[in-house]
Structure 1
Amino acid sequence: MKYAVIGHPIDHSLSPVMHNANFKALNDPSSYEAIDISEEQFHLIREIIKDKELSGFNVTIPHKERIIPFLDEIDDQSKTVGAVNTVKIENGKWIGYNTDGIGYVTGLKQVYPDLENAYILILGAGGASKGLANELRKYVQPRLTIANRSIKRFESWHLDVNKISLQEAENTLSQYDIIINTTPAGMNENKEVIINLDNLDEQTLVSDIVYVPFKTPILEIAESRGNPIHNGLDMFVYQGAESFRIWTGNLPHIQTMKDTVLKHL
């Protein structure tokens, strides 16, 4: 079987090394590659994938919403989030899934087992935030709180969550057990910190969905204050593991996947 990740740009992706290491650990002859598809080429997506003879593929930035009109059906998570990151091709039928939320929550439970009773603040109101909120609601009893710079961004939200401004979040920071940054602040060369952490409780876990850099500025500040931190590595590994399970029906070798990504970071 052949699989791939599509995006633009895509040369930075660690998905191929992670999935190919998993195949090798399982003695599976399947392969996985990265395919760069620009926005201008995207209308040819069906032909491109057919030529590659893929059995499934992952979708990353900037195509997670763009792929939806080309799919035959999508799962409930994808409908809620409005984005797809995994496509299974079965008998010519394209089925879309979103494994980002389950990937993140699976990783978070490893470092914060008492997730059920946690008061959680999510920073940002984009697609990633919506996906995480939708998945977290299945486990967390207290109502989730989402903070965004612009309250107008919440107009497309239909989830039962608290919606507040970043300023309000800064003032009430001490009441949360977990704070999750889903904004691009701190990604790559971006040194921005989306929120002031002066009111942070010393026990609060600070998490970021980004894993490159390994410690974003918000995680560095939290760590310097003595807070526990958690980056996006687990989310990346577990969303990939869930994609593999969807494609094959088999369990992946998660430790190999994680070790491989860590080695390449």
Structure 2
Amino acid sequence: MNFYGLFGYPLGHSMSPMIHKIIYEKMGIDAAYKLFEVEEEYLAQALDSLKILDIRGANVTIPYKKKVIPLLDQISPKAEKLQAVNTIKNKDGILEGYNTDYDGVVRTFERQGWTVQNQSVYILGTGGASQAAAHALQDQGGWVTLVSRSPDKKNIFPVIDYQTLEEVEGNILVNTTPIGMPPKIDQSPVSDQIVSQFDIIFDATYDKVDNKLLKTARSLGKECVNGLEMLVGQAIAAVEIWEDISIDDSVMDDILSHVQKEWM
């Protein structure tokens, strides 16, 4: 049996063990997945434990997606470009870093049938998830702009503030901020008026019920989806890396269906 896990702090809300359990069962993989809640001062030791205990890999979540990079032996070109790692593979004692959040975004848009080519994309937030979404959608031909309360001119993407966003009419609006996450699902990162200015709303947060942003989008007849497909998509991509296998896209429907049933 191979062992995998998730590094982050805190981790009480994580759905990852359930998702990975379903993936392993569906693919006939003999593996187990655990949560490793690690405080920052012990992060280096935690990575060493992968080698010592022969743990074959780990996912990385907030707040360590950037902080693990100097602790790894090598990172993939994609992770290098995003400057964020959410998947580590222990390959014979060599720790390799990857980013599968990017894959989760791509799979979500493909499954929704949403065209990105030549579409104006505005992404709320400038963190790790924002970078993954920005690069993924730009690589699909989208015109990407980030939105921040404190615009940083050093970012490789154009950045505007929320006041400027009020004057924008775009095609796709993506939320990568934590606003709208449980238990504050009655909060929205933008006004109803801003939502009305877009055709598609993708909220990278997820919960059993729609948060305020998605409720507003549905009431206005917008195409919209939460981040559950992204979460499952990035988990499948991580398993492909760890196990050196390819999982057919058709399997995702089955996995996602089981995740939704277990979650509800």
Same fold (TM over 0.5): yes
Q: How big is each residue's C-alpha offset from its partner over 1:167-222, in whole Å with a ceiling of 9 and x where there is no partner?
A: 111121xx211110111111122343222231544771111001135422211122
Give the C-alpha shift of residue 130 in structure 1: 1.4
**Alignment partner, residue 236 of structure 1:** 231
RCO greater where, 1 or 2, for CA within 8 Å and sep 6 or more?
1
Corresponding letter in the other structure for 1:258:
L
Measured in 1, the distance between the counterparts of 2:195 and 2:22 equals 39
Structure 2 residue aligned with 1:205, among 196, 200, 206? 200
Whether contact under 8 Å (2:85, 2:98) holds in the other structure is yes
Give the C-alpha shift of residue 165 in structure 1: 1.4
**Alignment partner, residue 91 of structure 1:** 92
**Alignment partner, residue 165 of structure 1:** 161
Give the C-alpha shift of residue 49 in structure 1: 2.2
Measured in 2, the distance between the counterparts of 1:199 and 1:58 equals 34
Q: How big is each residue's C-alpha offset from its partner over 1:87-132, in whole Å with a ceiling of 9 and x where there is no partner?
A: 1111210000111122112111221432213221111122211121
Q: Which runs of 5+ in 1 are unaligned?
A: none
Measured in 2, the distance between the counterparts of 1:21 and 1:246 equals 17
Q: What is the alpha-carbon root mean square deviation over aligned residues?
A: 2.0
Structure 1 residue aligned with 2:258, among 257, 260, 265? 260
**Alignment partner, residue 178 of structure 2:** 184
Normalised by the size of structure 2, how large is the TM-score? 0.90
Aligned CA distance change for structure 1 residues 189 and 38 (closer, same or farther; 3 Å) = same
Corresponding letter in the other structure for 1:234:
E
Higher mean C-alpha deviation, range 43-52 or range 203-212: 43-52
Normalised by the size of structure 1, how large is the TM-score? 0.89
- The 5 A counterparts of 1:62-141 are 62-141=63-142
Higher mean C-alpha deviation, range 118-127 or range 228-237: 118-127
Q: Which runs of 5+ in 2 are unaligned?
A: none
Whether contact under 8 Å (2:89, 2:95) holds in the other structure is yes
Measured in 1, the distance between the counterparts of 2:39 and 2:259 equals 25
Percent identity, aligned pairs only, is: 29
Corresponding letter in the other structure for 2:178:
P
Structure 2 residue aligned with 1:218, among 208, 213, 219? 213
Secondary structure at the counterpart of residue 164 of structure 2: helix
